[in-house]
Amino acid sequence: MSEAMSLSSRRSNIKVGVGAIVCEEAILKGDICIGSRTVVHPRASIIAEAGPIIIGEGNIIEEMVTITNRISSDPSVTPVQIIGNYNVFEVDSTCEASKVGDNNILESKAFVSKEVELTSGCIIGTGCSLTEQETVPENTIIYGNQCQRREMNDKPYPQIGQLDYLMKILPNYHHIYKPNMKPVKSEPSA
């Protein structure tokens, strides 16, 4: 009985939007809000230690990804971690950034620390690690073993095809969290 109580109390602060696919095998701890059409693979870890994590719409969070809102030694750092829309976190990447914009890609084994802010349209290449305090400019690609940088001419396209495929396939093979957030209705414009 106490195990069932602890399971339900752990899930009470996890909000899942309508249309989101969140595998029950994922590790979710703390106050987490997951937007609609976001896919969280099994064995992904989302851990809200310092405060809430708010994840927008259409994100793909693959296996062994770790998204953590860590406790900071700097009191000026906001305790809320905000992740925008249509970001892709590839296998075994780690994101601790307090703010992530839209349309970013963290490739396999990429690491972004709490001191970093990702704007929009950025690609953090395989194995690249960002640990110094900075705001990464829009449309920046960070690549190679020296973490070289260049600016893209175009923004990366959202991974809509992959998102649609995962939303169709994952429920066939995994237990999925049931949505527990009401859809937001927009006011009709006059």
Q: From CA 15, how far away is CA 27, in angstroms rounded?
A: 14
Order of strands, edge to edge, in the sheet holding 45-48?
A: 27-29, 45-48, 66-69, 94-95, 111-112, 129-130
Q: What pLDDT score was predicted for residue 78?
A: 63
Domain locations along the chain: 14-171
pLDDT by residue for the chain (190 residues), tens only, comes to 344 433 434 455 999 999 999 999 999 999 999 999 999 999 999 999 999 999 999 999 999 999 999 887 766 666 899 999 999 999 999 999 999 999 999 999 999 999 999 999 999 999 999 999 999 999 999 999 999 999 998 878 888 999 999 999 999 999 999 999 877 655 555 4
Dump strand ranges (E) for 119-185. 123-124, 129-130, 134-136, 140-143, 148-151
CATH entry, 14-171, from 2.40.50.140, 2.60.40.10, 3.30.43.10, 2.160.10.10: 2.160.10.10
Q: What pLDDT score was predicted for residue 138?
A: 96
Q: From CA 95, how far away is CA 59, in angstroms rounded?
A: 13
CB of 121 within 8 A of CB of 156?
yes
pTM (predicted TM-score): 0.87
pLDDT one-digit tens code per residue, 132-181: 999 999 999 999 999 999 999 887 888 899 999 999 999 999 999 999 98
